[in-house]
Structure 1
Amino acid sequence: MRDGQASYSARRAREFQAFVAGAAGRLLHAATLLTAEPPDDNPHARRLLALSLAHTYAYWDRLHGEDPYDRARQYLATRFARGAWHRHGGLGRARRRPVGPLSGLTPQERLILVLRLYEGVAEEQAAALLGLPVERVRTICERATATLLRPPADRSRPVAEPKAATS
């Protein structure tokens, strides 16, 4: 009996290690985008990743054909949302100024944008995961995309004078 348990535990550990080897990089990148930290200095993203992987490992035997990556991503997203809610009183503007590529977005906008565009999660799935109406997810994603495509003008740069036409 013990040999069977040891064999099972070893197989479980190998399966999980293979999952982590394939998924951790992408999950860390998603977490870094969510936290809007620089890729080389991302302690909050690494903590989110560690918690997500620990949660996935705890449920490894109960996945029953469910995609472990999907489970890890769901936990990462809900943990980020819950953390943003507790730290900042909601998913609105963060108190500390993020510096990553999505730094101009609110935590909620980053979450929806990462789920929809980086992770390819359907609107309906993102809405169900976050407990929001589909229309709200669509609106937030469109607003976040527009913000990224048309960032606010940098007020510190002087406006160039138009050149006079020469005749």
Structure 2
Amino acid sequence: MAETFREFVVHRSPRLSRTAYLLTGDHQLAEDLLQAALARTYRHWRRISDGDPEAYVRRVMYHQQISWWRRRRITERLQSQPPERAATDTAEATVLRLSLATALRRLTPRQRTVLVLRFYEDLTEAQVAQVLGCSVGTVKRHGHDALRRLREIAPELVDVPVERSAR
């Protein structure tokens, strides 16, 4: 049992780590989130190892992130003046990545999770619904609301050409 789990962790950790980062927006929190999810997964390894353990870990990460978020809920403060924007960097890709990361952090955890699972993990709406334990309609609603919100808070991302990179 321990050997198959170890192999799973070795082979799937990079991908799961990226997902954890996209859920949290912070490298250290992502490491903690993945470790917590893997610890919970190990306890149920006999039961889930024959199915889709990666989906199980994603679901655990999602629920753990929501739990952490609820404990440390930070309210957004409105300011009379918008914060000054950082000077533009010559590395356009870096600026876009930072802009996207900032915009994603402003979404609700569930909206962010739906976008990560749909567009980064490339799961279907039905697969996302299964991972999150909700209906396909709920996934569609959160996805629609998240994309609308992203267009509002980061209009600079709307017309950016999408480049697919190898995972």
TM-score band, normalised by shorter chain: 0.5 to 0.7
Q: 1:109 touches 1:144 (CA, 8 Å); kept in 2?
A: yes
Q: Which amino acid aligns with 1:32?
A: Y
Q: Is the CA contact 2:20–2:33 (under 8 Å) kept in the aligned structure 1? A: yes
* Contact 2:55/2:131 (<8 A) preserved: no
CA RMSD of aligned residues (A): 2.7
Quick one: distance in 2 between partners of 1:94 and 1:35? 17
Distance 2:5 2:133 in 1: 29
Q: 1:103 is matched with which residue?
A: 102
Q: What is aligned with 1:86? A: 71
- 1:17-56: CA deviation from partner (whole Å, max 9, x where unpaired): 110111101111001011112xxxx111101100111111
Bigger Rg over Cα: 1
1: CA distance, partners of 2:150 / 2:141: 14
For residues 137 and 34 of structure 1, what CA distance do their matches in structure 2 show? 16
Where does residue 66 of structure 1 map in the other structure?
Answer: 51
CA pair 100-137 structure 1, distance change in 2 beyond 3 A: same
User: Retained in 2: the 8 A contact 1:88–1:94?
Assistant: no
Q: Structure 2 CA distance, aligned partners of 1:101 and 1:17?
A: 33
Are positions 1:77 and 2:66 aligned together?
A: no
Note the C-alpha offset of 1:131. Answer: 5.1
- Alignment length (residue pairs): 132
One-letter identity of the residue aligned with 2:122: G
Give yes or no for the alignment of 1:24 onto 2:13: yes
State the alpha-carbon separation in 1 of the partners of residues 135 and 69 from structure 2.
20
Aligned to 2:85: none
Structure 2 vs 1, CA of residues 57 and 132 (structure 1 numbering), >3 Å: closer, same or farther? closer
1:76 deviation in Å?
A: 0.8
Q: 1:131 to 1:94 in 2, by over 3 A?
A: farther
| Contact 1:109 1:141 survives alignment (8 Å) | yes
The one-character-per-residue Cα deviations of 1:94-121 (angstroms, maximum 9, x if unpaired) are 68xxx67432131222111112222233
Instruction: Answer yes or no: is the 8 Å Cα contact 1:33–1:100 preserved in 2.
Output: no
CA distance, structure 2, for counterparts of residue 100 and residue 80 of structure 1: 22
C-alpha separation between the residues in 2 aligned to 1:110 and 1:15? 31
Q: Give the counterpart letter for 1:59 in structure 2.
A: H
CA distance in 1, matches of 2:99, 2:28: 13
* Structure 1 pair 143–68 and aligned structure 2 pair: CA distance change class (3 A): same
Q: Could you tell me the percent identity over the aligned residues?
A: 33
Q: Given the superposition, is the C-alpha separation of residues 102 and 109 from structure 1 closer, same or farther in structure 2, using an over 3 Å criterion?
A: farther
